[in-house]
Structure 1
Amino acid sequence: MMYRIIADAAMVVHFAFLAYLAVGGFLAWRWRRTIWAHLAVAGWGLLSIVTGVECPLTVIEDWGRRNAGLAGLPAGGFIDNYIEGVIYPEQYTNLVRLGVAVLVLFSYVGYVLRRQ
């Protein structure tokens, strides 16, 4: 039971991480110090896309699922299991990534303009 809770908690934190990646820059418009956390999150997101490095949250969720007697995550991990083909069709992956990048850049431009 505890392993299942760990796996589910990792999944929820992963969704929250992705939501913060998309809109966290806008939170910095109000709470300026959060820009540093968002820069770290955006950097990690970019690193994982460019290098394919596996997210620790994916590792934790997979570990929890396997120890709970459930099937592990598929080879593509969290994104392939919960996002691609579920929230948007796989053929739009690059378009979605571009949209998130534009959203993040827009939030940073707004952050800089609001600081002045």
Structure 2
Amino acid sequence: MIYRLVWQATTVAHFLVIAYIALGGFLAWWRPRLVWPHLALCAWGLVQLSGLVECPLTALENWARARAGERGLLPGGFIDTYIEGVVYPEAYVWHVRLAVIAVVLASWAGLAIRIRRRRRRPARTPGTSAAPEPEASR
């Protein structure tokens, strides 16, 4: 029972990580510090696309599935098991990947614009209005 719970929790975590990779840049518009974990996960996603290393979440899920007496994920891991051919047809893999990359880049461009606008705004001190005070006539 516990292994089944571990595998299902890992599946949920996988979906959340993938959603954060795709949309986390927009969360950074709200909280700019969130861009750092987003950048890290995007870099990790690119490493995963290379196929050189196994995702630790995939390894954990396969371990828990084996202990629960279930078969592991397909050789392509989480994406091949739960997303490709399920959420979108396998023939559109590169279309979807390019769309996700475009969404991520758009979120980063929007974040850069928002940060630039914040820096250009004059700083407000508590208790003052944003409008400049009129100059005294001489």
Per the alignment, residue 101 of structure 1 pairs with 101
Deviation at 1:19, TM superposition (A): 0.4
Output the TM-score relative to the length of structure 1.
0.97
Give the letter aligned to residue 86 of structure 1: V
For residues 106 and 115 of structure 1, the distance between their equivalents in structure 2, rounded to whole angstroms, comes to 14
| Structure number with higher relative contact order (C-alpha < 8 Å, ≥ 6 residues apart) | 1
Q: Secondary structure at the match of 2:32?
A: coil
Taking the TM superposition and a 5 Å limit, the aligned residue runs for 1:74-89 are 74-89=74-89
Per the alignment, residue 27 of structure 1 pairs with 27
Taking the TM superposition and a 5 Å limit, the aligned residue runs for 1:18-57 are 18-57=18-57
Deviation at 1:51, TM superposition (A): 3.9
Structure (1 or 2) with the greater helix fraction: 1
Percent sequence identity is 52
Counting matched residue pairs gives: 116
Deviates more, 1:61-70 or 1:49-58: 49-58
| Structure 2 unpaired stretches of 5+ | 117-138
Per the alignment, residue 13 of structure 1 pairs with 13
Per the alignment, residue 69 of structure 2 pairs with 69
Higher Cα radius of gyration: 2
Q: What is the root-mean-square deviation of aligned Cα atoms in Å?
A: 0.8
For residues 50 and 77 of structure 2, the distance between their equivalents in structure 1, rounded to whole angstroms, comes to 16
| Deviation by residue 1:46-99 (Cα, 9 ceiling, x = unmatched) | 111124421100000010001001111121111111000000000100010000
Give the letter aligned to residue 20 of structure 1: Y
| Structure 1 unpaired stretches of 5+ | none
Q: Secondary structure at the match of 2:93?
A: helix
For residues 81 and 11 of structure 2, the distance between their equivalents in structure 1, rounded to whole angstroms, comes to 11
